[in-house]
């Protein structure tokens, strides 16, 4: 998927913009997304939840049944003095999920598993748009990026979904799909990895 020689190109920061300290990212099941970003230096908190729909239907039963407009997502809180928005997007696009899969990630299918970024301000939106344009202009992926830039509130998921990998390290889904993401983070971005 990623050509290693392009990794350095994709590690650009976001100079000269007022950076927010949170961003919401959707890229398939939130368990693996959360686990991956919890291992990024400079990330201070990751919350699993739902983005893109309304408060009244922000429940796992409805979202996983594809009865809402929500995507499973994570809200990443980070210290921009320690990790840039560019670094976070590098992890998102190159490690945490496959941005070329439309409305699915690995075994999970449906719009709730879509690839989407929910910027928290106009500057983030502009930066994410430029980042996606840069990725699409380079031969990084076999297919075109289908990640959408969306807006809407974020609603935390039920308590049993929070820190799922940490609480359930031997869960078969975690072992099959999410442990490899954390391992890929360690190899792809060793300077950003925290154990």
Say if residue 14's pLDDT is above 80. Answer: no
Listed by start position, the domains of the chain span: 4-158+169-184
Q: What is the pLDDT of residues 88-104, one digit of tens each?
A: 999 999 999 999 999 99
Catalytic residues: 29
Q: What is the pLDDT of residues 15-73, one digit of tens each?
A: 544 454 899 999 999 999 999 999 999 999 999 999 999 999 999 999 999 999 999 99
Q: What is the pLDDT of residues 134-144, one digit of tens each?
A: 999 987 888 89
Closest CA to 79 of 35, 44, 55: 44
How far apart (Å, rounded) are the C-alpha atoms in residues 14 and 125? 12
Q: Tokens 């890929």 belong to which residue?
A: 184
How far apart (Å, rounded) are the C-alpha atoms in residues 175 and 86? 28
* Residue 117 φ/ψ, nearest 5 degrees: -115, 135
User: Which residues are CB-contacts of 143 (< 8 A; sequence separation ≥ 6)?
Assistant: 100
* Residue 97 φ/ψ, nearest 5 degrees: -165, 175
- Which pairing describes strands 154-156 and 148-149: parallel, antiparallel, or unpaired? unpaired
**Per-residue pLDDT at 195:** 86
Using a cut of 0.85, tell me whether the model's pTM lies above it: yes
* Residue 128 φ/ψ, nearest 5 degrees: -65, -40
Say if residue 11's pLDDT is above 80. Answer: no
- Per CATH, the number for 4-158+169-184 is 3.30.1060.10
Give 3-state DSSP helix, strand, coil % of the chain, rounded to 5: 40, 20, 40
Mean predicted confidence (pLDDT) in 177-188? 98
Q: What is the pLDDT of residues 106-157, one digit of tens each?
A: 999 999 999 999 999 999 999 999 999 999 998 788 889 999 999 999 999 9
Confidence of residue 4 (pLDDT cuts 50, 70, 90): very low
**Per-residue pLDDT at 138:** 87
What region does 163 belong to: left with phi over 0, alpha with psi -120 to 50, or beta? left
Retrieve residue 32's tokens. Answer: 């693996």
CB atoms within 10 A of CB 16: 7
């Amino acid at each position: 998927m990623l050509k290693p020689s392009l990794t350095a190109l994709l590690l650009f920061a976001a100079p000269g913009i007022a950076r927010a300290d949170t961003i919401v990212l959707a890229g398939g099941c939130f368990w693996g997304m959360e686990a991956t970003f919890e291992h990024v230096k400079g990330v201070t908190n990751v919350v699993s939840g739902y983005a893109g729909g309304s408060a009244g239907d922000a429940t796992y039963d409805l979202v996983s049944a594809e009865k809402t407009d929500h995507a499973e997502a994570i809200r990443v809180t980070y210290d921009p003095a320690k990790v840039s928005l560019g670094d976070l997007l590098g992890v998102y696009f190159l490690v945490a999920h496959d941005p070329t899969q439309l409305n699915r990630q690995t075994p999970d299918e449906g719009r709730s598993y879509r690839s989407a970024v929910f910027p928290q301000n106009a500057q983030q939106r502009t930066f994410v748009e430029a980042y996606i344009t840069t990725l699409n202009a380079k031969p990084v992926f076999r297919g075109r990026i289908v990640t959408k830039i969306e807006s809407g509130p974020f609603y935390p998921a039920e308590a049993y979904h929070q820190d799922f990998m940490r609480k359930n390290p031997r869960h078969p889904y975690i072992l099959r799909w999410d442990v490899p993401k954390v391992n890929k983070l360690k190899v792809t971005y060793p300077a950003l990895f925290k154990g």
